[in-house]
Structure 1
Amino acid sequence: MDTGSMGPKKTFVSTFRMDFKPAAPQFVLKGIKNELEDRDTAQGGSRKQGTISTDITSKRRVSTEKGPLLEFLDPQEQLEVRVGGQARLHCAFRSCSVPVASCWIYNREQVVAGRPRTRVESSDTDSSVEISQACPDDAGTYTILVRNRRGLAQHTVTLSVIDRPHPPASSPMVSQLSSCSLVLSWSGPSYDGGTAVTGYTVEVRREGTEKPEDWTEVTTHCKNTSYRIRSVLEPLGEYRFRVRAYNLAGVSEPSEVSDRVKMETRGELKEESQSYVTVTIDTTHKVKDHYNVHEKLGMGKFGQVFRLSHKETGQVCAGKFYRAHSSKAKAVARREIELMNCLHHPKLVQCLGAYDTRSEIIMVMEYIAGGELFERIVDDNFEHTEPTSARYMQQLLEGMQYIHRQNIVHLDLKPENIVCVDTTGTRIKIIDFGLAAKLEPGIPLMVMHGTPDFVAPEVISYEPVGLATDMWSIGVICFILLSGELPFQGNSDAETLSLVTAACYEFDQESFEDISDQAKDFITSLLKKDTRCRLLCDEALAHPWMASFTLLVRRPTKSLKKDKIRRFLAKRRWKTTGKAVLALQRMANLTNGPDSPGSPGEEASWSPAAEQAIQNLDQELQSEPRFQQVLRDTSQPRGSTARLVCRVQGYPEPEVVWFKDEEPVESSSRVTVGYDGMCELVLTDLGPADSGVYKCRATNDLGEALCSAKLTVEL
């Protein structure tokens, strides 16, 4: 889909100065996306009139051109094609002068015609890249650089190549087994195909059938990574299950098949009482001595997570495998285990064991089958109101209250780290304490990590963090829960962080139409730039919104719209893990002035190959002078004004000198020499001595051109 052709027509102007030095070319690229400062780089002297002067006989162009030097005409912003299709990235432009040279940059390298499946075509008015049989490796940002004799402009087009997703990453797991129902849970696909997964198909096969390949679809409209099956199951029946993911491009292959499941003859199993374990790291055994390691559930910066089952009890757990080849990496893992031993609370995920081997540390964690809270909320069968949102926030605050009482900060609160205990209830837990830290009295703690949409201003500014830092993130989560929108949403991470630093947000009238003033006051009390003004957990739990939400249940309550939360989740899935955790050495400087990285003063970073491509654009434009319009013989009466005009083209900009009968023409009170694209010699109050042959000579480093004409002054 070519979204560049949708909506009202726009014209983008992108120009800036670019100075070339043959020995060491310098490239000063300024701007965010395609909106760059318009600068005039013309050089040279101005016209002189008056007495005869012998020091001005050559001229460079003096710019009188109006409007942009280079502009893109209704450019594409993004392009989406399916795998195997043809992608055509096209950009039309208008230049104040010709010739024009252009090239495309992808992955910091120049896109050349010899690239497989790629054709590049360029002219003085447009340029395009055509990719046949597009594949996921072709996706990304393509930047076109356009050069004329006055400057350089750039514009970026994002190409998305979508395919059907990979199969779900894990086989379905069964919980809450009864005589005729159960709950399936699974992990999403490791690759979504380049566009958001929109749902799952659940399939069942009864064991003992004559045809093992006979699978029956239970549902094709599951929106989450869990599903309760109430039909098609019989008491004492034995079944296997599998799941497929689908997106706009198609349906994936099936997941691995589940273990055989035998239905119970009794009712729902009651939840076991919560018990806590103080973990001592086992350095004698390996995790496989006690647990079976099954499919991968996910991965992150630290390592990978696998499903585990205890060999004796069958208890299902999650194994967090830390890559720990260095003592420093092991220290990080041990610190998390030490913190987890301080966090025994029903609202917090529990660490059940730990193993230390030569190359890795494994944390055995409580397995939570309910999936992410926000994924649950968007289920069509799940109620989403302001009172239910308040209950979730109450649970989150209760968990964080316990954490803060241990003088520990989480530092990575976001929707992905709030999960549901099961697939039917409303109980939640807080997970992932990999970035958590213990506050020490009198020792300021400053961190350089976070997620742009949820990080607090003091983190960006690299100032000491505290308990109030988590409260900011809770305010952002509540804002999204009630509206489906982010309070600080910029067009880039840099812009988002600038909005966060300024604590600049508003309650959109449409999104908060059905939300109470008490709820908005609760959010406002958390999203305070000054940490001293933010509510802490005890105060937040006592806020009127929290205190009255049970009363709200007794009143008629309106279901909140879920469309915006679904869009929010789709965007979150699209972001890569590597983009979620930032190095704040750069973030800390984003609001410090126009020359900070990421701001309009940022210097672009190109690979050597791309820099060479940019330099080649200048070389492509270089040409020796040539006259596009030559002088013509003319006759003028005595006392009149003669205007001799020609047009010269060349790059680098040629120097122009006028001659009369082989002698240089000098400016005077009645002789004007001008060059503003047209070479012009104006002589006033003509007399017989002005008759003769006039020549215009244009010279640059590549050569010279000459044209002449005869002027006759009639007596």
Structure 2
Amino acid sequence: CTATQRSEEVAVASCSTELTVVRDFDALDDGNSDSGTSMDVLGEESPPAEALVSGVEEPAMLLRGPQDTTALVGDRVLLKATYMGHPEPTVRWTRAGRLLKNDERTSITSGAGVSCLLLQNITADDSGKYDICVENIHGADCNYASVSVEGPPDPPSGTPCITANLDSVTVAWSSSPYDGGKIVNGYAVEYSLVGSDIWTTDVEECHSLSYVVRGLQPGGRYVFRVRALNIHGYSKPSLESDIVQLEEHNESSSFEPRIVSIEPGPEFKDRYEVLEELGKGRFGVVHKVVDKVSNQKLAAKFIKCRTSKDRDKVQDEIDIMNILRHQKLLQLAAAF
């Protein structure tokens, strides 16, 4: 069109194309609405939209892959991907090379360009990489997402090792095989009397792999177990230790410090019973002995004195031990 005249109010143009005004589009309908064709405003036929779409074939392609996810034990995880392609692509989800299928904890739905993988009641074993692949006759496309599952750590492995004393026990254990996805902050040590279902926590956050439980009942029979701790809480308890029985506290066995002088040799056999050898050194042999009257257990050192000089050395040792007064040092009970 070209403008031939223009004023403030009117513009006139001449056009070389003849325009036809159609008052009602139904007028273009030839009476056969099911013919599957349509007319444009110029009277020309155009193919239906469905025919246009169905005629386009495309290779399978992922438009958006699944996203990395972190979840807690027992949660649900949804991995979602969108795709395109014609003919409709086949969709496969795999983990560690194993094809995933619908089961009681796994649900897969695909269609209309969307595929979803739903994992329910997840455990630490569900951690890993999940792959999705779409494929049709024109091509294939793959992507993946990583799933991290966090929770309380596994229990310490194995059985706790126990070393018993009169009224205390040293408990040692191994670390947890899996930390639950977060660093282990400590360990709780628990104990129970044999025959009781009550467990007592002696320490809640021990930072080593051993601990001394004190204040136990002399003569008591105990079992011990350990739990690991991280930011998500405590693990299940470890295996229970072997039963350990503490020694009875015998008041008559308490030893009072004394000044010892050498007594006649024959009296030794009358007062003590000699048991197994405990150790041997350059100057003598140590045996375990038991007082025949009080049943008190002691250690006896047997020294061979061949010369008077040897006897003097023994007397010097007796004199030194007579002045030793400390709970961590051996006390002399008798000399023969």
TM-score between the two structures when normalised by the length of structure 2:
0.44
Which protein has the bigger strand share?
2
Q: Flag the structure with more relative contact order, 1 or 2, with Cα contacts below 8 A and sequence separation at least 6.
A: 1
Which protein has the bigger helix share?
1
TM-score between the two structures when normalised by the length of structure 1:
0.23
Larger radius of gyration: 2
